[in-house]
Amino acid sequence: MNKNSSNMMALAPNTSNKRETVCIFGTGDFGRALGHKMIQCGYPVVYGSRSTQISNLIPKDAEVLSHTEAAQKAAIIIIAIQRQHYNFLTQLEEILHGKVVVDISNNLKLNQYPESNAEYLAQLLPGARVVKAFNTVSAWALQSGALDASRQVFVCGDDMEAKQMVMNIVRALGLTPLDKGSLLAAQEIENYPLQLFPMWKFPVFLSLGLTAFFFFYCLALDVIYPYIYEKNDFSFFIALTIPNRVCPVMALTLLGLVYLPGVLAAIIQLYRGTKYRRFPDWLDKWMLCRKQLGLIALAFASLHAVFTLVSPIRSFVKWRTSKTIISQALNNKTEPLDTTNAWLSDSYLALGILGFFFFVLVGITSLPSVSNSVNWREFRFVQSKLGYVTLILSTAHTLVYGGKWFLSPSAYKWYLPNIYMLSLVVPCVVLVVKFVLIFPCVDKPLTKIRQGWERNPKYSE
Amino acid sequence: MNKNSSNMMALAPNTSNKRETVCIFGTGDFGRALGHKMIQCGYPVVYGSRSTQISNLIPKDAEVLSHTEAAQKAAIIIIAIQRQHYNFLTQLEEILHGKVVVDISNNLKLNQYPESNAEYLAQLLPGARVVKAFNTVSAWALQSGALDASRQVFVCGDDMEAKQMVMNIVRALGLTPLDKGSLLAAQEIENYPLQLFPMWKFPVFLSLGLTAFFFFYCLALDVIYPYIYEKNDFSFFIALTIPNRVCPVMALTLLGLVYLPGVLAAIIQLYRGTKYRRFPDWLDKWMLCRKQLGLIALAFASLHAVFTLVSPIRSFVKWRTSKTIISQALNNKTEPLDTTNAWLSDSYLALGILGFFFFVLVGITSLPSVSNSVNWREFRFVQSKLGYVTLILSTAHTLVYGGKWFLSPSAYKWYLPNIYMLSLVVPCVVLVVKFVLIFPCVDKPLTKIRQGWERNPKYSE
Amino acid sequence: MNKNSSNMMALAPNTSNKRETVCIFGTGDFGRALGHKMIQCGYPVVYGSRSTQISNLIPKDAEVLSHTEAAQKAAIIIIAIQRQHYNFLTQLEEILHGKVVVDISNNLKLNQYPESNAEYLAQLLPGARVVKAFNTVSAWALQSGALDASRQVFVCGDDMEAKQMVMNIVRALGLTPLDKGSLLAAQEIENYPLQLFPMWKFPVFLSLGLTAFFFFYCLALDVIYPYIYEKNDFSFFIALTIPNRVCPVMALTLLGLVYLPGVLAAIIQLYRGTKYRRFPDWLDKWMLCRKQLGLIALAFASLHAVFTLVSPIRSFVKWRTSKTIISQALNNKTEPLDTTNAWLSDSYLALGILGFFFFVLVGITSLPSVSNSVNWREFRFVQSKLGYVTLILSTAHTLVYGGKWFLSPSAYKWYLPNIYMLSLVVPCVVLVVKFVLIFPCVDKPLTKIRQGWERNPKYSE
């Protein structure tokens, strides 16, 4: 019907000759693995190589020719060569003119070169239609067929049609192409496989540090103190009792740290009277890892829940229970039901369960597929409103759990407060400041500032 | 290679001059936030404004010009103006001819105008290539970089190339463009950010109403009744005991309500003898919120599970247990193991656990990413077959839990049935009707009707 | 601006005449359902039929004409006819020339014909622009509006513009089009709706078989043996005790089977000295269903967790506990705390909880949306490193649980080992072999082989 589609038809295979020939420059590991896979999927593959001697490593159905001959046989040339050897391609510029040249290279470090490898290739070969693809797939995965990980292949390029052709190959290999736009995206695509949970590093190290601190704090007060002063060997507390003290403390503290930057940002904006100045760097970074902090808090909360539920099965707890009952039986007395105690015990459990329930809800909405299916307003509702409900319930759970204990001297071994009191510091600060921020006299100017109003417009230059 | 791609190359940036200039009409909050972000990402930004005086609010690297001058400098013009001021753009029609004009506006209410803002803009500027985009992103999110919510930007437009250019900008800002097709989709895109869980409203209100009813029903029978007639203060039941009675009742009732419309629809189709007449409106709406009802039922079931597991830790339960044991010890007798009781207790727990297990499985498959990776046949298998297994197991769990209790007068305080009996009404009705529907003599005509057969073809007009 | 886009504009509707006419060939069930839905969404629909008599079944707003007349009225023709009747379309070749012809057919069996229906259609009508679409949607779903399942419609075709037009219709019907590339993908798209969890079949049958075996093994040792030799009726163990023995055994065994093929593959590669020879078929298949095996293992582990947590509520456990306490009380003695026991009990529980925690983490990353948002390196880290942590913790949990029991004769009823010992076989084999494989003298050649090195290059032909 139009030039474009007829062109596609000419390049696309007809049913009698299903796949078009693909040329691969370079007979290194990834080049061979990709060639293997393509031959399996029905593509005729021709290798371009300096020497045609090393052909015994190469898939047997593939041809090996010189670079020039190989490039002439195919409309698509895959460059499976390292960036430092790209130079020689300039000799082939004429043959590669108008052809689809696929850059699949990766670097060893983030932002190793000023421009991405694909953009560098496009500069060397101005007449070729350069497409970036396949760099996120490992040779091992291609070879073994163990593609149970992400099947996504990021593709970018300035030529729509060339990109379509490469995306068709990607699909034919059983992978999912993802169009990332023009060749400008190549830098990002090349950095992608080099990352190992970059957003998680700070939250994980913070959690490990805090966990270690709280663990030794507990160890001192719950194991070493009774051993020294009461000659009791509670060393087995290390296995389960102390973890079940550290987990809730970590969960509550981290949850507080999720909401602290939000109230700090509000205070800064109120103070500055504008939203058009950037936050300090540390606050920006903190705000960007709130999701990770929250998920780690959820992990600690889950562990706390299971540790608590498992307690009636513990040998120590069973022993303590039977000791209490036997001593009552031997003294021939039955204690009446203490209603206040029943109230406290039940409400502290109920608050904890509800807090955990809302926490899990917030956690589920942070799954990529769920957060993509809600709009901004709904996401804010869940993450902000339900998040604060979680924080309030968890703080109340801890307060009711502690009860009047903070008044008793036994809570202060070695003049140190019990660990549950430490966990209340951050969330209480957040809740008090947030409570102040929702007063109309504070909320109104803040809302105006967030809508773009400025107290002293001169500040914004 | 062909006209299309060379054209793209001309418009797309070359590597020496990375980003093309973007023009923004309007210096309001969103216009400024978008400009800030674009400058951060390397785009030269030029503002078009009625007056060039208010420039101190504007990002400092941006130019501010008259509308005409600004539009001439860029191939892409973003209209950050409210719809009611679009009229003046007709004066610029000549300059905007052939340019990519991006409508980013939102309305205050769903379907505020007969046509979408973008379509209205396309009518005003017939020569421009109008693209709808960015309306789902908030200015605050752009400004703060806190884009942990959905990064999806819906894009639609009749011109493929213009859409590609806008999608490239979206990607460069670190967001994910989602092509929603032609400009006809603009209405839907404009309505999207105005919704707050529209499908959840009815299920949530229904659940709240039913929960309140069951709560007060329980309160009357379990707290007020013993207080009046037995002078027992069980007020602490409010914290945990009553919630753990209401939750399973709600879970089972809502699960029944998920499968009730299906059997009603089957009955209606059998009665009418055709599938080509629309169901009554209430049934249509009910069927569309089954997923939400099911997920709320799952939430109640989860709460019930945790409430039950937590019971051995409760102060009241501990007191009751020790009272029983002490009285046995004091009476110097040991009860033998009651095997029937052990059978009943274990099977009611096992049924509940299995029912909950299948319920969670069904819940997991309703996650968007999981349901997208199964085909229709697999989804039906899980949601329908496993769903009925869940319903049968949960109903059996409740029946075994009740046991012979419904025969004893103590189950009917104030002549009212115990709450667990109420919960059995809906699921039992569904299961009985479903059981009738799978008889061949009923199933056969139903299958034929669903394949398009009609008893009285005249009805179908 | 260019030919392509102006062309789109001509074909795309303007706002006054919103939708273009669509022609449907065939008045069968799916044709009618699709027509109904399209009319609801504002498309004028015209049916092409051999006879125009049977019109009372057809949606009332649709026109029914002869094939020739109907095809002339629309740019898009949907072929709702079975493949065996496609022949007659060759008569209409002239009228269909250049038109968008949509193949929506499905087959009854996988790979029923040598080529896909859409490719067959493209051969019959070389001048038409054939697009495959809609075959994954059921008529019932379209009719009832109950599209809560996957809304994805796979679309493929060699003509970009034709594909865009069909994708716009898909979007207008409220569905999500997914571009699967050229018409070569039609075979895969046609096979898709015929599958019912193909990857799950083997893992599910394996699990069912193993579960049955372990169930009867337990039944013999825990119910039949005490009944014969001790005259104890423990038949109620069937409800909960035996499932809670089978579940952990299944979980651990299946988890071992997930990591066994990996170490087998390493051994084979070391033996062969190359990675360029295919693994035996059974190993390939085994490796491809590791994810499914792992998820089933996770399901068993979850059931084991809940079964264990529920135990203090069980009537039998309560009876046993009170019997122990009463006998102590009657004997007037209080047992001191056994610290070794407390250590063992707590550490076995803690190991189990941590193992389950990491298992759930690994399970969450296998959700499609999560695994798509991590790169290959991160996925490997979670699935391989955390997976082995899970395996080690679970094996340790089982070893500590067993303790010195394997030394006592009571663990060998009928000379058979207790079931927990059976569960340790596979994971211990995996862990021992893996331990050997990480020695440098073994790891080094393996790494070299996986990077493409070969010991005897002649092997690769």
Question: In this structure, what token pair is assigned to residue B277?
Answer: 């007449």
User: What does the pLDDT average to over C328-334?
Assistant: 79
| Alpha carbon of A55: minimum distance to chain B alpha carbons (Å) | 34
Dist CA A402 CA C440 (whole Å): 53
Q: Which residue of C has its CA nearest to A151?
A: C372
Residue A284 to residue B145, Cβ atoms within 8 A: yes
**DSSP summary character for residue A386:** I
Dist CA A261 CA B406 (whole Å): 56
Quick: pLDDT tens for B216-242: 999 999 899 999 998 888 889 999 999
Burial of C73 (0-12, 13-18, 19+ CB in 10 A): middle
The stretches of B221-338 forming alpha helices (DSSP H) are 225-230, 241-272, 281-288, 290-309, 315-330
* Confidence band, pLDDT 50/70/90 cuts, at residue C31: confident
The answer to whether domain B22-194 has CATH 3.40.50.1100 is no
Dist CA B61 CA B64 (whole Å): 10
Contacting residues for B444 by C-beta, under 8 A, at least 6 apart: none
Query: First-to-last CA distance in chain B?
Result: 54
Dist CA A174 CA A147 (whole Å): 9
Which of A171, A316, A367 lies nearest to residue C346, judging by beta carbons? A316
**Looking at beta carbons, which residues of chain A come within 8 Å of B136?**
375-376
The mean predicted confidence, pLDDT, of chain A is: 85
Residue C375 to residue A195, Cβ atoms within 8 A: yes
Residues A286, A196 contacting (CB under 8 angstroms): no
* Confidence band, pLDDT 50/70/90 cuts, at residue C380: confident
User: What does the pLDDT average to over B353-360?
Assistant: 96
User: Lowest mean pLDDT: which of A140-154, A337-351, B395-409?
Assistant: A140-154
The dihedral built from the CA positions of residue C32, C36, C37 and C39, taken in this order, carries a sign that is: positive
Residue C235 has pLDDT above 70, yes or no: yes
Query: Can you state the percent helix, strand and coil of chain C, rounding each to 5?
Result: 65, 5, 25
User: Lowest mean pLDDT: which of A38-42, A87-91, B432-436, C422-426?
Assistant: A38-42
Residue A460 has pLDDT above 90, yes or no: no
The number of C-alpha atoms within 13 Å of A211 and in the hemisphere containing its C-beta is: 15
The mean predicted confidence, pLDDT, of chain B is: 85
Residue C347 to residue A140, Cβ atoms within 8 A: no
Q: Which residue of A has its CA nearest to C341?
A: A315
Residue B342 to residue C315, Cβ atoms within 8 A: yes
**For residue C100, what are the β-bridge partners?**
C76, C129
Give the best-scoring range by mean pLDDT among B36-50, B69-83, B132-146.
Answer: B69-83
Residue B350 to residue C193, Cβ atoms within 8 A: no
Q: Which chains touch C (3 or more CB pairs under 8 A)?
A: A, B
**For residue B131, what are the β-bridge partners?**
B102, B157
* pLDDT value of residue A457: 60
**Looking at beta carbons, which residues of chain C come within 8 Å of A325?**
325, 329
Residue A159 to residue B193, Cβ atoms within 8 A: no
Residue C239 to residue B350, Cβ atoms within 8 A: yes
| Alpha carbon of C151: minimum distance to chain A alpha carbons (Å) | 13
Dist CA C4 CA C256 (whole Å): 57
* Confidence band, pLDDT 50/70/90 cuts, at residue A144: low
The dihedral built from the CA positions of residue A134, A140, A143 and A146, taken in this order, carries a sign that is: negative
User: What does the pLDDT average to over B389-408?
Assistant: 90
Closest to C177 measured CA to CA, from C135, C114, C231: C135
Backbone angles phi, psi at A74, to 5 degrees: -135, 155
Which of C4, C276, C377 lies nearest to residue A4, judging by beta carbons? C4
Dist CA A440 CA A342 (whole Å): 39
Residue B460 has pLDDT above 50, yes or no: no
Residue C3 has pLDDT above 60, yes or no: no
Give the best-scoring range by mean pLDDT among B365-374, C329-338, C345-354.
Answer: C345-354
Which of C159, C341, C461 lies nearest to residue A315, judging by beta carbons? C341
* Confidence band, pLDDT 50/70/90 cuts, at residue A298: very high
More confident residue, B254 or B32: B254
Q: Which residue of C has its CA nearest to B451?
A: C29
User: What does the pLDDT average to over B106-117?
Assistant: 84
Q: Which chains touch B (3 or more CB pairs under 8 A)?
A: A, C
* Confidence band, pLDDT 50/70/90 cuts, at residue B182: confident
Dist CA A161 CA C377 (whole Å): 31
Which of A148, A309, A316 lies nearest to residue C290, judging by beta carbons? A148
| Alpha carbon of C449: minimum distance to chain A alpha carbons (Å) | 10
Distance of CA A75 to the CA centre of its chain: 39
Q: How is chain C split into domains, by residue range? A: 22-194, 200-330+337-451
Dist CA B295 CA B362 (whole Å): 9
Residue A239 to residue C369, Cβ atoms within 8 A: no
Quick: pLDDT tens for C267-313: 998 998 877 677 888 988 888 888 899 999 999 999 999 999 999 99
The dihedral built from the CA positions of residue C48, C50, C53 and C56, taken in this order, carries a sign that is: negative
Residue C328 to residue A319, Cβ atoms within 8 A: no
Residues C460, C274 contacting (CB under 8 angstroms): yes
**B–C: how many Cβ contacts below 8 A?**
203
Closest to C183 measured CA to CA, from A3, A100, A177, A19: A19
Residues C346, A316 contacting (CB under 8 angstroms): yes
Dist CA C99 CA C85 (whole Å): 20
Residues A330, C332 contacting (CB under 8 angstroms): yes
User: Lowest mean pLDDT: which of A138-147, B368-377, C103-112?
Assistant: A138-147
**Residue B79, SS3?**
strand
Question: In this structure, what token pair is assigned to residue C33?
Answer: 């359902």
Question: In this structure, what token pair is assigned to residue A404?
Answer: 């009047």
User: What does the pLDDT average to over A259-276?
Assistant: 88
Residue C172 has pLDDT above 50, yes or no: yes
Residue C244 has pLDDT above 50, yes or no: yes
User: How wide is the angle at C-alpha C144 spanned by C-alphas C46 and B203, nearest 5°?
Assistant: 140
Which of B29, B143, B168 lies nearest to residue A182, judging by beta carbons? B168
User: What does the pLDDT average to over B157-164?
Assistant: 87
Quick: pLDDT tens for B264-285: 999 998 998 877 677 888 988 8
Q: Which residue of A has its CA nearest to C290?
A: A148
* pLDDT value of residue B453: 75
* pLDDT value of residue C146: 52
Q: Which residue of C has its CA nearest to B324?
A: C322
Contacting residues for C416 by C-beta, under 8 A, at least 6 apart: C217, C220, C221
Residues A314, C349 contacting (CB under 8 angstroms): yes
* pLDDT value of residue B55: 54
Question: In this structure, what token pair is assigned to residue C232?
Answer: 């104890």
Residue B136 to residue A180, Cβ atoms within 8 A: no
**Residue reference for tokens 């009726």:** C233
Dist CA B8 CA B14 (whole Å): 11
User: How wide is the angle at C-alpha C56 spanned by C-alphas C50 and C61, nearest 5°?
Assistant: 95
Give the best-scoring range by mean pLDDT among B1-10, B414-423, B452-461.
Answer: B414-423
User: What does the pLDDT average to over A80-86?
Assistant: 88
Tell me the three-class secondary structure of B362-428, residue by residue.
Answer: HHHHCCHHHHHCCCHHHHHHHHHHHHHHHHHHHHHHHHHHHHHHHHCHHHCHHHCCCHHHHHHHHHH
Q: Could you please report the per-residue DSSP string of A80-113?
A: -S-GGGGGGGGGGHHHHTTSEEEE----SSTT-S
**Looking at beta carbons, which residues of chain A come within 8 Å of C450?**
140
Q: Report the percent of chain A where pLDDT is more than 90.
A: 36
| Long-range interactions of A439-445: CB distance < 8 A, separation 24+ | A442/A270, A445/A270
Q: Which residue of C has its CA nearest to A322?
A: C325
In the sheet with A45-48, reading across from the earlier edge strand, the strands are A63-65, A45-48, A22-25, A76-79, A100-103, A129-132, A152-157, A176-179
| Alpha carbon of A309: minimum distance to chain B alpha carbons (Å) | 6
- The distance between the two most distant Cα atoms of chain A, rounded to a whole number of Å, is 103
* pLDDT value of residue A367: 85
Residue C143 to residue B115, Cβ atoms within 8 A: no
Residues A194, B44 contacting (CB under 8 angstroms): no
**A–C: how many Cβ contacts below 8 A?**
205
User: Lowest mean pLDDT: which of A299-303, A356-360, C196-200?
Assistant: C196-200
Residue A227 Rama label (left phi>0; alpha psi -120 to 50; beta) = alpha
Which of B290, B325, B460 lies nearest to residue C56, judging by beta carbons? B460
Angle between helices B387-402 and B339-365 (to 10 degrees): 150
The stretches of A102-240 forming alpha helices (DSSP H) are 117-124, 139-144, 160-172, 186-191, 201-218, 225-230
Angle between helices C201-218 and C241-272 (to 10 degrees): 130
Residue B378 to residue C197, Cβ atoms within 8 A: yes
**Looking at beta carbons, which residues of chain A come within 8 Å of C339?**
233, 235-236
* Confidence band, pLDDT 50/70/90 cuts, at residue A16: very low
**Looking at beta carbons, which residues of chain A come within 8 Å of C346?**
236, 239-241, 314-316
Which of B5, B60, B195 lies nearest to residue A159, judging by beta carbons? B5
**Looking at beta carbons, which residues of chain B come within 8 Å of C318?**
321
Residue B126 has pLDDT above 80, yes or no: yes
